[in-house]
Amino acid sequence: MYDSGGLEILSDEECRRLITAVPLGRIVFTDRALPAIQPVNFLMSNGEVIIRTSSGSKLAAAARNAVVAFEVDEFDPAIQAGWSVVIVGHARIVSENGELSELRGLPLRTWAPSAQDHFIAITPELISGRRLPKAA
What is the assigned CATH class of domain 8-132?
Answer: mainly beta
pLDDT of 133 reads 80
Environment class of residue 56 by beta-carbon count within 10 Å: exposed (0-12), middle (13-18) or buried (19+)?
exposed
What pLDDT is stored for residue 60 in this prediction? Answer: 79
Instruction: State CA 19 to chain mean position distance.
Output: 8
Q: Check residue 136 and give its pLDDT.
A: 62
Reading the chain (136 residues) residue by residue, the pLDDT tens digits are 988 888 999 999 999 999 999 989 999 999 888 999 999 989 998 899 988 887 778 887 877 789 999 999 999 998 889 999 999 999 988 877 777 677 676 766 666 656 567 888 999 999 999 999 876 6
